[in-house]
Structure formats: C-alpha cells, structure tokens
Structure 1
Amino acid sequence: MPRLPDFEAWAVFASVAEGLSFSRAAEDLGLSKATVSKAVARLEARLGARLFHRTSRRLALTEAGRAAREDAAALLAAGEAAEARALDANGAPRGRVRLAAPMSFGVAHVAPVLPEFLTAHPQMSVDLHLSDAQVDLVGGGFDLGLRIAALADSSLRVRRLCGVRRSLVATPDYLARHGRPEHPDDLKRHACLGYAYLPTPDRWHFSDSTGVTASVAPEGPLRANNADALAPALRAGLGLAVQPDFTIWDDLRAGRLERVMPGWQPPPIALNLVMPPGLPRPARVSALIAYLERAFATVPWAQNATEAATEAAGESSPSPPSRRAAG
C-alpha cells in the first residue's frame, strides 16, 4: 500500500512559504520552531529537493519551493474548509477565516471592527493579511478579500459593500500659494502627489457631469505605493493628491484639506468583497461576510451610486468649460 502524503508537513510548509519565516509560522501554528523545521526537512527528504535557501539573514524559496507553494496553500485551504464544514454541522460558526485587505484601509477601518465580530464569535479567528498589492486569493489560500477598485471581470465572486468617493484635494495653504485648478489641464502647473497602485499611475483620468473626459500626466515631488505615506506631504502643503474619502474624511471635516476641481471626478470605485468561486461557503466565512456588510453599510465616507450621481451633478453645476476632451 502506498504511503499517505505527509499532510502535516505540507501544511507547515505552506505557512512558512507564506511569510518566509520559520518563527512566524511556528507562532501562527502554535508549534515550536524545532517542530516546524523538522516538518519542512521531512517534506524535503520525501520530495528529494530543497524547498528553501537558508542564510543567517533571509529565507527564500528555491525553484522547487516556488513550484510547490501553490499546491501546499491549496491543500491547507482544503483541509481547513473540510474541517470547518464538519464543525458547522455541530453548532455555531467556528474556525479561521483568512482575509486579505489593502494596507491603509485594513489598519484604519478593518482592524477596528474585528473585535466586535470576534467577541460575538468566540470560536472563530481571523487571519488578516494586509498589502496594497493585489493578492492571489486562490493561490494564497484566502477565504475573502477586500478590494477598493472598479473590478474587471474574473472568475472571482464579487459582492459590492459601498461606493467610495475619490477627490482631488489639497490644503488651504497650498491653494492660497499656488491657486485653485479648475480643469485637469491646470494640473500641469501644479505639484501632484501620486499613488503607485492606481490602474494608470502615470495618468490621472477625470470626467465631468456631461460625460466629457480629460486626463493629465501628474508630476510632483512624491509617489508612494501606500496612501498613508502621501498624507504627511499632502498635509504639509507640498502638492495635490487624488485620495479616497476613507483616508481624508477627518481632514475634510476639520478643514485641513479641501476638495479641488469638484466639477471633475476620477472614475468611480467601490469597496468590494471578493471570494474564490464555488459553493457552498463554510458558515465561518458567511458569518464574516454578513458582519462586514453591516459594518460598512453606514460608515460616514460610504457613498452609494445614487449619492455619487447626485453629488457629482450638484457640485458641477454650472459645469466648467470643457477646454479639451482627452482619453
């Protein structure tokens, strides 16, 4: 009879490969570092290949490790899902939900709402993965992801939680010193603070209430791959930036920032829950989905489609003269 796969070693390898750390995997799994190391060594011996390059300072996947990582994550996710389905039949939702979210949004808005959820579901845990880079939900073994974008068609299942308004903003001091742009073309004469993970970071796109579009190549002293990293320069009056309301809501209310060029809006985006394809979902995942839907239904910066259209029309009346349409 052939030997069964070493499922424990595969699961341990998946955890180490995700964080590229034996210590972190040991902490996440509740095992000793020696146990984690032995499990990986056992799998390497069975496969006849090294899975990691180890030095005193860093850990990196070998070619064999990179090839095995996705399968390991899928095995771990399948095992957790099977266990969760069995537990679901015995009462309240229980088990771990792996949730991916953007860094700034996750720290400021997701992490603060999780304690209430975890208090209400003491048999559950959430593994929150924060990164502004778009993660592979299926390959990474995630149950859910939060994405703030206009999503392209894909095999993922999508549930829209709320609209997210983006605005061009600056400090009153910056506007007093440099003037207030009225049309996207005016931004060529302004310092622009850029966000690297926009769909087109080298081009800002706008449209007015009549559907006329315009775009500009932003130039300025700073571009970053995290919205919070732009905040100090923005508040210091070093330039203008296109920011989502959830990062600037308090600054707008306090008058530290002002909306600029309200007759021209960036393309609409939304806060979306994305899920790997396939049903049924475990009760633990459904419980978190329902909670997040409630949590983000009434936040002050949320904007539904009707509000967005009404505000855009109201703020742009009378609409600015369209000097030029651009792609």
Structure 2
Amino acid sequence: MDRLRAYEIFMTVVSKGSFNKAADLLDTSPANVTRYINDLEAYLGCRLLNRSSRKLSLTESGEALFERCKSILAEVAETEALVSSAAIQPRGRLRINAPLSFGILHLAPLWPEFIRRYPELELDISLVDRVVDIVEEGYDLVIRISRAGSVNHAARKLASSHNVLCASPAYLQRHGTPLMPDDLKEHECIIYTYSGDEWNFTDSSGRIQQVKVKGKVHTNNGDTARAMALSGCGIIWQPTFLIGPDLVSGALVALLPDYKLPDIDVLAMYPSRRHLSVKVRVMIDFLVEAFAGTALWDRKAK
C-alpha cells in the first residue's frame, strides 16, 4: 500500500464527505478509494470511518488522525511558502572568503551597497590569503585570485589584473635599473610566498625566461611586499589591483617593459552550478556588475 496516497485519499474523503466525490476529485474510481481506506484501516488496526447509505462520519480514531493530518499539511504548506519566498527574496547568512588585500581594497567598499539592496541577507566575511576548501570549510562563495580556475568547483570571472615588476625610485637610484630578467639575480627581491623565488617572464616573441631571485624578505601578504618596496628595500612583482595607484603616482616604477608577467583572474567560486541558491546568485550578479568593463585599477595604471 502506498501510505502517502492512502492518507491523501482519507483526507479527501473526509473533506468531501463522500467516497464518490473524493473519487471524482482524485480522478479515480470509488472502488479504488474504498480499497485504500480499507487498507489504511487494516494497517492502523482501527476503524476510521463509520459508513452508512446516507451518511459518513469519523470514528474517534478517525477524528484524531484527521486533526493530525491537518496539522501536518499546514506545516508542509508553511514550509513550502517559506522556501518559495526565500527562492524569490534572498535571506539568511552568506559566508564569503576572499584574499586579505583584495578584500580590504576592492570588496569592503561594495558591501554597504549590497546590504542596502538585500536587507534580509547577513554577510559573514573571512579574509585570508591561503587557499580554502569551499565545501569542507562551509563557504557559500570564495573570491580567488588565480592564473587558472579550479576544476573542482564552478567559477565566474569577475575581472583580470596585470602583474607588474617594480621598485621605488630610491632603490633604483642606489642599485641601478635592471634591463633584462637575468639582471634580477644581482638585485634584492622581495619574495611573495605564494609565487616563490622563480620568476617567469615572457618576451615579445613569446619565449619564457625563468629567473631564480634572492632576497632577505619573504612574505605571504601583498601589502607587506608593497610596503617594503615603497620604502626602498627591493624589487617586487604584484598585481595592479594592489600597486596601480603607486605606479600612477610614481611611488613605484614599472621595470622590464618589454617582458610580461602572467596576468591573473579574479574569480567568484562556488561549490556547484546545480541548485545554486538565490543568495549566492544575487551576490555573483552583484559582483559581476561591480567589476564590469576594464578594471578600475588597470584604467588608472595605464
């Protein structure tokens, strides 16, 4: 016996007060309705309905079952309404992870407008430069700075940023200006932990040159590398989203203009394209809108 179907038929019989009317509404035969009611009574071990040729009435057990089923159906309807409403109006907590420097410089200014647009959403924002596990650590959305997207999760590109080799005028005045990638071997370089000490450059012909550099300072934070370079401590390569204003002001000077470092993408990553919640969808759309066109940091850097 299909118990869910049996309960549905029982509720319909009671609400319509007739086996025949219930059969018409459910598009089945009166005999089938009778069979389901008999099977349900046999399963529960009690009579649910008193039948006569003129009247149908509930037994005490039937009354109790009917009231309980009504309560359950009301809860189901309320839950469906809540879920349906949430699918239209985003609400709840949205857990986001982003790199520290990018999060402070380029995401933090966006959050007030997002909250204004979606007042029923709460933001739980974590800034850390290490690569997090989206699923294991329970994030809804991760902003990642990457040369290539992840194969494990869905991603949407928000923007690109150029990497630029640079140093302060004071450093260059003391130590000279490198003209070729190999010249960097004789310079003090500030090494970003996640990029390592082997720097790859592409020349105008597309040939890649790799240089192993050295330096007294290693750091896993781009702001620290920038601060060291601004103070004249060495040469760095960092993305224009971090050093763009310094290049415009002349506080840092771009080096090796005939050689390119690999560009990077700013990605919005999420666990799966399937069953994408509305709260994640509106955040992604919001960020795509905010970073549309040529990124502000690269417009300033040119």
**TM exceeding 0.5:** yes
1:108 equivalent among 105, 109, 114: 105
1:191 partnered with 2:185 = no
For 2:179, the equivalent position in structure 1 comes to 182
Letter paired with 1:232:
A
The verdict on how the C-alpha distance between 1:167 and 1:92 changes in structure 2, with shifts beyond 3 A counting, is same
2:224 maps to which of 205, 215, 229: 229
Tell me the percent identity.
37
- Equivalent residue, structure 1, for 2:296: 300
TM-score, structure 2 normalization: 0.69
In structure 1, the residue matched to 2:155 is 158
Runs of 4+ in 1 over 6 A off after TM superposition: none
2 CA distance for matches of 1:146 and 1:85?
Answer: 27
Q: Is the 8 A contact 1:132 1:225 kept in 2?
A: yes
* Correspondence for 1:88: 86
- Cα contact 1:160–1:272 (8 A) shared by 2: yes
Q: What whole-Å deviation, never above 9, does each CA across 1:155-192 have from its counterpart, x for those lacking one?
A: 21111111110000111121122111121100001110
Q: Any idea what the Cα deviations from partners look like across 1:53-106, whole Å, max 9, x if unmatched?
A: xxxxxxxxxxxxxxxxxxxxxxxxxxxxx99955424x4211111111001111
How far residue 152 of structure 1 moved from its aligned partner, in angstroms, is 5.2
Aligned equivalents of 1:290 and 1:96: distance in 2?
17
For residues 208 and 226 of structure 1, what CA distance do their matches in structure 2 show?
Answer: 28
TM-score, normalised via structure 1 length: 0.64
| Separation of aligned partners in 2, 1:112 and 1:84 | 32
Distance in 2 of aligned mates of 1:176 and 1:272: 38
Please list every run of 5 or more consecutive structure 2 residues that lacks an aligned counterpart in the other structure: 1-79
For residues 296-321 of structure 1, the C-alpha deviation after alignment (integer angstroms, 9 at most, x for no partner) is: 22441258xxxxxxx9xxxxxxxxxx
1:1-327 matches, cutoff 5 A: 85-89=83-87, 91-151=88-148, 153-198=150-195, 201-298=196-293, 299-302=295-298
After superposition, the Cα gap between the structure-2 partners of 1:120 and 1:170, relative to the gap in structure 1 and judged at 3 Å, is same
Q: CA deviation at 1:250?
A: 1.4
Q: How far apart, CA to CA, are the structure 1 residues paired with 2:270 and 2:203? A: 33
Cα distance, 1:84–1:259 mapped onto 2, change above 3 Å:
farther
Q: Give how far 1:231 is off.
A: 2.1
Q: Distance in 2 between matches of 1:152 and 1:121?
A: 28
Local SS of the residue matching 1:247: helix
State the Cα deviation string for residues 87-127 of structure 1 (Å, max 9, x = none). 424x4211111111001111111111111111111111111
SS at match of 2:205: coil
Number of corresponding residues? 221
2:75 aligns to what?
Answer: none
Larger Rg: 2
Superposition CA RMSD, Å: 2.1
Q: Structure 1 stretches of 5 or more lacking a match?
A: 1-81, 304-310, 312-327
Paired residue type of 2:99: P
